[in-house]
Amino acid sequence: MDKKLIEEMIERAMAQLDYSYAPYSEFRVGAALLAEDGTFYGGCNVENAAYTPTNCAERTAFFKAVSEGKRRFTAICIVGGKGGVLTEYTAPCGVCRQVMMEFCDPETFQIILAVSKEDYKIFTLKEMIPMGFGPDNLA
């Protein structure tokens, strides 16, 4: 991936931290999802007093995009930390990886985990969810 694009995605994911609604865990997460047509969708985690209705930042971004007609994606950037302070890579939970399996090619979809604009790691979806179950299994 182009370094400029990676940096833009990290900035966009970081900007989402301000919107994170995480009064229970205080763990703020921001995501920036890039659709194949070049459109960006931001997402933040949205917690709930009943805990289980909580939505992760990644799924927020995917559901925003899909609800606006996008179904093909290139990459997602994820940042997170307690109080919004970024100290470690925040990897997507299993549920979010499964949602990615629904709309992304595991071989090519890029998952950027960032701590800063200079400190990041990139994985394919396949690396994050080997032998994942997806739409192809039902074809």
Query: Of the residues 11, 58, 107, 127, which is catalytic?
Result: 58
Tokens 């394919």 found at: 124
Nearer to ligand THU, 4 or 102 (CB): 102
8 is annotated as an active-site residue: no
Separation of first and last alpha carbons in the chain: 30
Burial of 44 (0-12, 13-18, 19+ CB in 10 A): buried
CA distance 106 to 64: 21
Q: How far is the CB of 117 from ligand THU (least distance, A)?
A: 19
Question: Which parts of 13-72 interact with ligand THU (CB under 6 A)?
Answer: 22, 25, 27, 29, 45, 47, 54, 56-58
Given the rule CB under 6 A, which residues bind ligand THU?
22, 25, 27, 29, 45, 47, 54, 56-58, 78, 90, 92-93, 96
